[in-house]
Amino acid sequence: MRIVSTWSFGLRANESAWPHVAAGRALDAVEAACAYADAAPDIDSVGFGGLPDASGRVSLDGCVMLSPGQCGSVAGLRTHLHPVTVARRVMERTPHVMLVGADADAFADREGLVQAELLSDEARAAYEKWRREGGVVDQSRDGPSRTLGFDPLRPVDRRHGDDGRLFGGATTPPPLPADEARWRHHDTIGCLALDARGTLAGGCSTSGTPFKVPGRVGDSPIIGHGLYVDPEVGAATATGTGELIMGLCGAFLVVESMRRGATPAEAVREAVTRMARTYTLQAHHQAAFLALGRDGTFAAAALRPGYRTSVRDADGARAVEPDFVALADPVG
């Protein structure tokens, strides 16, 4: 019985989902964890608080998966806050896997899901600053980062946690470690759960990359790229520069390695090693894979230092270092 999520902010998301894991409701657990991250304004590449695209509008992507025959996905939501919830409705109430754009929002409306404002004041201010500083959308394959109006590598004193329960009762949670804070715009939540009944589920939610070209969709909502779950084998999710993950069918690659006998640690290591040798990497590129085996063993591997996995199981909550980091130099 265990729930694992990408990045340290996943501690809070895991905690909100833990009762579902313990009650044998893995699907509810991953939906709850992702919904928690969606609603937290300080998690700024997911949900409310997510940075907008180059037109100043936020768009959200997400997916959910139990098995190859039970998965759902949405991309480009602009008026609904919880993509995993909408994706679950697609999975459960339509014969389809994926809906996109305005029609996905319209589907959510028909499902009775409440509309929400997605752009926070802070995200609007960040967008306006980007525009003021001459933000240009780079249409190159690796996204808009070369011409961002901010330094994606600047250290940010971002605080995480909001109820103190996870942090020894302190009302103010500790700041993120500096190496992780450097990747604050990479805080997509990918979440994998193995519940008390032995059911595996995964969910993934993101607002994508900051100031992306409108219409851009990354790996996160694409089954097999940002998330893959096979109940016979295990589950994997990804976070980071989607364009690097998509070229490898990242999450599927990890689960298929496990199917062929690799441990989760071997599978994620192989995937980031392949990423490092496949692409011409830029300083802003970061990505990580997180895998959870059928037996509950988990592992993560990252391209660069600064990624952590949040874990909640019978031993409590903790953020752990990845098992493998491909590149020693954090900015090389």
Binding residues for ligand SD4 (CB under 6 A): 45, 186-188, 206, 208-209, 218-220, 239-242
Contact indicator for 210, 124 with CB cutoff of 8 Å: no
Instruction: Return the number of the residue (173 or 242) whose C-beta is nearest ligand SD4.
Output: 242
CB of 171 to ligand SD4, least distance (A): 28
Instruction: Return the number of the residue (234 or 242) whose C-beta is nearest ligand SD4.
Output: 242
Instruction: Return the number of the residue (52 or 208) whose C-beta is nearest ligand SD4.
Output: 208
CB of 219 to ligand SD4, least distance (A): 5
d(CA 139, CA 87): 28
Instruction: Return the number of the residue (75 or 195) whose C-beta is nearest ligand SD4.
Output: 75
Question: What are the Cα distances from residue 192, in Å, to 126, 169, 272, 299?
Answer: 31, 27, 19, 11
CB of 240 to ligand SD4, least distance (A): 5
Contact indicator for 299, 323 with CB cutoff of 8 Å: yes
Q: DSSP state, 149? A: S
First to last CA, the chain: 38
Instruction: Return the number of the residue (8 or 206) whose C-beta is nearest ligand SD4.
Output: 206
CB of 197 to ligand SD4, least distance (A): 29
d(CA 74, CA 213): 18
The sheet carrying 298-302 orders its strands as 227-230, 234-240, 287-293, 298-302, 324-325
Looking at beta carbons, which residue is closest to ligand SD4? 242
Instruction: Return the number of the residue (55 or 94) whose C-beta is nearest ligand SD4.
Output: 55
Partners of 201 in beta bridges: 193
Instruction: Return the number of the residue (62 or 149) whose C-beta is nearest ligand SD4.
Output: 62
What angle, rounded to 10 degrees, do the helices at 26-39 and 10-22 form?
Answer: 150
Per-position DSSP letters for 13-58, written without gaps between them? HHHHHHHHHHTT-HHHHHHHHHHHHHH-TT-TTSSTT----TTS--
How many other β-carbons are positioned within 10 Å of the β-carbon of residue 316?
8
Annotated catalytic residue within 6, 79, 85, 188: 188
d(CA 237, CA 228): 7
188 is catalytic: yes
Continuous H helices in the chain: 10-22, 26-39, 83-93, 101-110, 121-132, 178-181, 242-246, 250-259, 264-278
CB of 86 to ligand SD4, least distance (A): 17
CB of 288 to ligand SD4, least distance (A): 8
What amino acid positions are annotated as catalytic residues?
188
